[in-house]
Structure 1
């Protein structure tokens, strides 16, 4: 089993995974003020909570979109399991041809998503990852990573709406029973949820037209399980997609990979 970690802007996902199964998936808050010792305690608690011994971890790999915290997480994992994780970055073997203006600037989470989806699903494909930002990345029928879309995440949009208006409250995210709300909270929920749903459907329509064929569509991320079932496109939800991608990258690079800290 390897320890696969995906550090996002809001949450850091840690999972234990091998080719047979995903043993656990846990989320902790991404906080730049925390030390490596504090993160080490979190990782130690996660392993203990899932009855996983540190000695059963054969390796570790980190994907990070928060560069200032990358070394902190690498040090934390090393303290707990005695292994320095690989860091997804430039020079790592991915199996993808990245056709972007600046391939090094592509978010590591998007590359990991694309690697995992390409391994499990027919091409071409689009991966929707709903986190702090919502991203849609595209792999063409030849296996090339050709780009995508980045837009504000659902909670970012909702927090902005509440924070910039005097009379709109901060609310929990729940799917309303109807689109026409009868009170302020239901109006906000309908707007933010169905607005996001229709935005994703609209972008998928445009992407499909640009590709010239129907792609396989996969979604992941904490919010995707609530949103993508409401879309009119057929979308396969996979909560462990990033962890699967990290396992694939670990196996591709384990004999010779270097940490890119």
Structure 2
């Protein structure tokens, strides 16, 4: 089993995987004030809660978009397992060419998204990863990472709307039944959800034009369930929603 860790800006996702199955997936808060020992305790507790024997872990890998915490997490994993995790970066050998102006600038989360999706789905493809930020990365028909976009995530947009306006409340993120809201909360939800959905659908259309053929579209990330159901792209025959 491989201990796979995806450290995002808001949450750090910890999972156990091998070539056949995923054994567990758990989340902890990403906090730059926590020490390696504190993270080690969290990892150890997760393994115990999921009935995972540390001896069954043969390796570990870390994908991170929070560089200041990289050494902390690497040390934490080593304290628990005795293994030093592999850190995903532009220099790691994935078998995928990164055709960007500066390949080193590509986030490790986008690299692992693209590599994983390419192994599971037909090319070309677009991977939508919806977390604190929403990223969309594109792999061409030859298996090359050719670029993408980065935009504010659903909750970032919602929190910004609430914090910058005097009369709009902080609300939960739920898919409304209709676009035309009948109260302030439903109006906000409709604006955030359907606004993001139509924006993503429009970007997919533009990317398809540049690719010259229909892509496979894969949606993943913490907030993908909120947007995938009403998203027109996830209803096309070339799409795999919410991997």
Same fold per TM (> 0.5)? Answer: yes
**Aligned position for 2:159:** 159
**5+ residue gaps in structure 1?**
240-261
Query: Deviating runs (4+, > 6 A) in structure 1?
Result: none
**5+ residue gaps in structure 2?**
none
Task: Output the CA distance in 1 between the equivalents of 2:19 and 2:98.
Answer: 26
**Aligned position for 1:50:** 50
**Aligned position for 1:85:** 85
**Aligned position for 1:146:** 146
TM alignment of 1:29-178, pairs within 5 A = 29-178=29-178
What's the Cα RMSD here? 0.9
Task: Output the CA distance in 1 between the equivalents of 2:193 and 2:162.
Answer: 14
Q: CA contact under 8 A between 2:14 and 2:26: conserved in structure 1?
A: yes
**Aligned position for 1:258:** none
**Aligned position for 2:6:** 6
**Aligned position for 2:240:** 236
Deviation of 1:51 (Å) = 0.4
Structure of higher RCO (CA pairs closer than 8 Å, 6+ residues apart):
1
**Aligned position for 1:216:** 216
Distance 1:143 1:106, change over 3 A: same
TM-score calculated relative to the size of structure 1: 0.90
TM alignment of 1:173-184, pairs within 5 A = 173-184=173-184
Task: Output the CA distance in 1 between the equivalents of 2:223 and 2:242.
Answer: 12
Moved more, 87-96 or 61-70: 87-96
TM-score calculated relative to the size of structure 2: 0.97
Deviation of 1:43 (Å) = 0.4
